Amino acid sequence: MNENLFASFITPTMMGLPIVTLIIMFPSLLFPTPKRLINNRMISIQQWLTQLTSKQMMAIHNQKGQTWSLMLMSLIMFIGSTNILGLLPHSFTPTTQLSMNLGMAIPLWAATVFTGFRHKTKASLAHFLPQGTPVPLIPMLVIIETISLFIQPVALAVRLTANITAGHLLIHLIGGATLALLNINTMVASITFIILIMLTILEFAVALIQAYVFTLLVSLYLHDNT
């Protein structure tokens, strides 16, 4: 195949202008606002899944943390729908861009940290120095805890980027191998095609799991600071 392996990760443009903004706004069309007294099956299933996920994720939070429920549910729905739409052929997945994932992770992480320093100042500062630390190790532990704190948003973004990118690359490689084997060995090509279908099903699960993991970690950061 002459196509570049990373061509699907290039930001699409129209008339020389990037259209990432339109792509990011598109998933919101999949969650229409109900306007009828009795909803159809699709909206009912969406509302049931939203309530189930919200109840499970907000169970560990106090009243102050539960004010983030709308933000967290919007986040998981956006990331999940974006990941799934990115599995469509000839589509672009914004969550494969590290810059976008950092743009989501850093503000959310910073908001949870600022919330902790505002409402639980002593407890937040206590995380930098565990109880019972020997005096000679205090400077080193403070530096280590500070670095680990600032690594959290980077880990959030890199985890999401790496998992989604790896899945897309595997689908691209196995799909290319299937096309190449069609003219060589039909039996091997059919086996490869079955593997491709199973991998695609797995990627649908990974798309939803990564959205849940990203949101759950933000929720845990919030829980530690409220």
The predicted-structure confidence for 54-69, as pLDDT tens digits, reads as follows 888 878 888 887 888 8
The end-to-end CA distance of the chain, in Å, is 53
**Phi-psi group of 85: left, alpha or beta (phi > 0 → left; psi -120 to 50 → alpha; rest → beta):** alpha
Look up residue 27 and give its two tokens: 């998933």
DSSP for the chain?
--S-TTGGGSPPEETTEE-HHHHHHGGGGGSPPP-SSS--HHHHHHHHHHHHHHHHHHTT--TTGGGGHHHHHHHHHHHHHHHHHTTSTT---GGG-HHHHHHHHHHHHHHHHHHHHHH-HHHHHHTTS-TT--GGGHHHHHHHHHHHHHHHHHHHHHHHHHHHHHHHHHHHHHHHHHHHHHTT-HHHHHHHHHHHHHHHHHHHHHHHHHHHHHHHHHHHHHHHT-
- Average confidence (pLDDT) over 76-96: 83
d(CA 111, CA 198): 39
Residue for token pair 């908001």: 111
| pLDDT tens digits, 137-193 | 778 888 888 888 889 899 999 999 999 888 888 888 888 888 888 888 888 888 888
The predicted model gives 195-215 an average pLDDT of 90
pLDDT at 155: 92
Distance CA 150, CA 192 (A): 43
pLDDT in the model for residue 158:
92
Average pLDDT over residues 68-76: 86
Residue 76 in this model has a pLDDT that exceeds 80: yes
| Per-residue pLDDT, 2 | 46
Confidence at residue 159, expressed as pLDDT on a 0 to 100 scale: 92
Which CA distances in Å does 170 have to 19, 64, 79, 109, 226?
26, 42, 20, 31, 40
Higher local confidence (pLDDT), 90 or 186: 186
CA 80 vs. chain centroid, Å, equals: 7
What does the alpha-carbon distance between residue 54 and residue 216 come to, in Å, rounded to a whole number? 11
Please tell me the predicted confidence (pLDDT) of residue 1.
Answer: 46
Task: Give the predicted TM-score (pTM) of the model.
Answer: 0.79
Residues 108, 99: Cα–Cα separation, whole Å: 14
Q: What is the pLDDT at residue 15?
A: 63
Distance CA 1, CA 131 (A): 59
